[in-house]
Chain A
Amino acid sequence: MATVLERVPSSGGFARVARRSYRLVAEVPSIPLLMVAVLAFAAVFAPVLAPHGKLDPVKPTPEQCQAKFGMANCPYVDNVPPFWARGGTFDTPLGTDFLGRDVLSRLMYGAQISLVVALTGTLFAGAIGTLLGVLAGYMGKWWDQVIMRITDAWLTLPSLVFAILLSSVRGPGVWNVVLILALVFWSRYSRAVRGEVLALRERDFVRLAEINGIGKLTIIRRHLIPNVMNTVMVLFSLQVGVAVIIEASLSFLGVGVPPPEPSWGLMMAQERESLMEGKWWLAVFPGICITMLVLSANMLGDWLRVRLDPQLRNR
């Protein structure tokens, strides 16, 4: 006999949704969100917002050429300081690099690369790891053994060293970095998700679905994956920060995004020498951007973890 549950008419449904949404927004840590929003905005609208191109030097004025090189015409003027420093201009608010390229514009385009690489790499890692974790946890037997032993082995590899190794095999390139991030981080998801699924598969709704003859794939799709998404989302938000660092480190070491494309890690690497020359703005601004993004991603991830965990939320 089938039981039909009647929908209980809700009193003030809209008001409740609005109240919950407001509470959610109010709880979101505003500073990290703002920082991520600013960086994401700059990344998305870089082609419109950036005062100059990402690769081309800023065309210098004859006065600048004269002052720097003692000639009327020059292809570019390098290492112009930020606008507030002596010799700086508003045309290049954060100064220019060793090739006379606008630092602000390159930071904006660099945000594009850092965010795209970190988000896509983490997303791929999440997809692979979640799928394998669900399979290992739900299918059990040799599935579990094989997947988990590989996962264990993978987890023992130091992530940066492993990423460098993969990079040197695959060669530099934006999409290679994405692939490397996916290959490095999937094991964290599979380990966590498998634990969740082991608990879920003993729950009544999964048992009932099995008794009703629902196929395994359908159970995975309808009952397991939606229920592990909280964990995956928390992991995802925390891993984004790590992915940004890995991408920056790979580019810093020359095996990530190939020049002349702007990447924050690469920008820092290229201007190490300039720090010794007192041209601090060339390495410091990309460093600040990396710090901002990683810190914000971690704070948001932490908040999400608390928000989605009933025990922590009610504490």
Chain B
Amino acid sequence: MFKRTLAILTVTTLWSAVAWGQGTTSTPKPILAGPLAKLDIKDAKLESVRGKPRGTLNIGLHFGLDPGWFDPLGYYGPALHFYYLVHDALIKPMPQGEFTYSLAEHAEMTADFTKAAFRLRPGVKFQDGRPLTPADVKWNYETYRGYNFKLFQDKVDRIEIMDDRTIVFHFKGPFVDFLDLYNGAGSGIGWIVPRHYYERVGPDAFKARPMGAGPFKLVSQEAGVQASFEAWDEYWRRPPGVKNLTVRGIKDLAARMAGLQTGELDVAYGMTGKLLQRVMADPKLRWDPNFTAPWHLMFPGYNEPSSPFHDKRVRQAVSLAINRQFLVKQETQGIGKPWGNWISHENRDGLRGDGTELPVPPYDPAKTKQLLAQAGFPNGFEFDWYVPFVPYFDMAERILNDLRAVGLRSKMQMLDAPAYMAQTSKGRKGFPGNRTIVQRIDPRPGGAKALIRLYAVCGGPASYICEPKIDALWAKHEASIDVAERDRLSKEIQRILVEEYYLVPLYLQPFVHAVGPKVLPEGEAVHHYWDTINAPFPWPWEVWEVKG
């Protein structure tokens, strides 16, 4: 009897212990003391069935590759495609949510936003087998030199390593946007590169032969042309579905189309334009509209009095001259949506530009001419350059055609992708004259405020805009720790930017991706690859599968 009671007690105790253990996983032990901010970070979807990677996935990128994109410490735009392959972040956008745990299994922020803490997932490591530690996270933060690095450095007071999995950031004051910016989509700072390797080989060799904690290892790369990867079976979330993955930079739409049709490519991006109809009609191909962000026009140096775009009426004339409806029809077979905001509605606190929150800009050539005459340009004028986003040159020529119809004449400056990205990321310094229109799109996940900070405030890394009215609101925004007030201020800024025509939105871009017959699953179920919110490319890559 005693033995039986003892056995029951032992089993009960063990069961309770297991249950308590599970409980601690779902409600982790807090790191920070005091009241905490409510964070909406989704759990990672762990896929425990560790299948064997098979087959090769060939991707056709619509611009040339830049080895610099493998180094998150010097982050900029299109690099995210490659970060999701080779590197991993503490938290990043995933199909589960805009903020999803990745290398970190838990994060906290104090209610006053002066401290943030992360606990790393147990056993995470780099591709060379060395453990990924809080020391790497700290070093990455301190070494980062990409977008917003000054902001990160100015805000941080000290970084404390609590134990072999826990790190705490102490800020000088409230840093409300920390998680927005530290999130993998917002900058390169949250993507962890191995300190031991980076310091040993140096930045240049790292770009040529990067190593990270992501699902794929780089095998080889030919600068500008292609990069080949192979699956890293020990990736913490799941082994990748494909064994090999190749990304080729193919600027030419016809070549991408031919690649899809011959089976040389399995995925091709940017299939809008002249061949979209053919993609849609091909029974062997599947395609996803993948709405990303709105196209918009910017005017570097508009705030200098010598610029013709200094006059609001001229900027408004530019907007009214563009026949968005026809442009959408010609470029996207009508699936694009004329849009009244330069920020996507998928961005948190982004105003909708479909007429519900901001009006769709009209097409009115007669009023355009009237405005130009009032601004002192009855016969229009010639401006230096129209700089299109690579490789949407046909679209740019259509816009130039609309502008020329009202007397705004110019020529196109066709840059290659790395040159375009480098120039636009320099902000005002990228375009020295003040008679240039730059066409841009930025499908950057996160809050609208990240885009405002980047493009619309004085001293923003890629900003051409410096307006006291906007900066006053932005200063208020930065000083506030009231999330609702910050959202209101962000929306007010968005409204000013559009109403004053500092930025001229065009249409919400369907960044059409076409998929070949080798990609699994069969049929329309393939759309699940585009589940990550606001993602220009169909990451994460480890879930992709192809026929062996």
Interface of A toward B, CB cutoff 8 Å: 55-57, 69, 74-75, 78, 98-99, 168, 171-172, 254-255, 258-261, 270, 272-277
Contacts and interface: CB of A to CB of B under 8 A. Distances in A.
A57 B278 contact: no
Find the residue from B258, B278, B396, B397 having the highest chain A CB count within 10 A. B397
Contacts of A275: 254
Nearest to B261: A276
Nearest to B402: A75
B400 A258 contact: no
Given A55-B404, A57-B401, A260-B400, A277 B413 contact: no
Contacts of B398: 99
Given A98-B274, A172-B414, A254-B393, A260 B401 contact: yes
Contacts of A274: 274
Contacts, number: 70
Nearest to A76: B401
Nearest to B323: A75
A134 B416 CA distance: 41
A276 B412 contact: no
B275 A276 contact: yes
Interface string B257-300: 11000000000000001110110000000000000000000000
B257 A273 contact: yes
A276 B400 contact: no
A285 to B, nearest CB: 17
Contacts of B400: 259-260
Contacts of B253: 272-273
Interface of B is mostly: helix
B329 A276 contact: no
Contacts of A273: 253-254, 257, 273-275
Interface residues on B, range: 20 to 34
B329 A69 contact: yes
A139 to B, nearest CB: 42
Nearest to B252: A272
B394 interface: yes
A101 to B, nearest CB: 9
A55 B407 CA distance: 12
A253 B323 CA distance: 29
Contacts of B139: none
The 3 A-B residue pairs with the shortest CB-CB distance, nearest first, are A273-B274, A254-B414, A258-B411
B228 interface: no
Contacts of B307: none
Given A55-B404, A56-B404, A78-B330, A276 B254 contact: yes
Contacts of B278: 276-277
B326 A74 contact: yes
A263 to B, nearest CB: 12
A306 to B, nearest CB: 42
Interface in B512-533: none
A54 B277 CA distance: 27
Contacts of A276: 254, 257-258, 275, 278
A277 B393 contact: no
Given A74-B326, A78-B330, A273-B253, A259 B414 contact: yes
A56 B394 CA distance: 15
Contact of B413 (A74, A258, A260): A258
A172 B412 CA distance: 9
B323 A99 contact: no
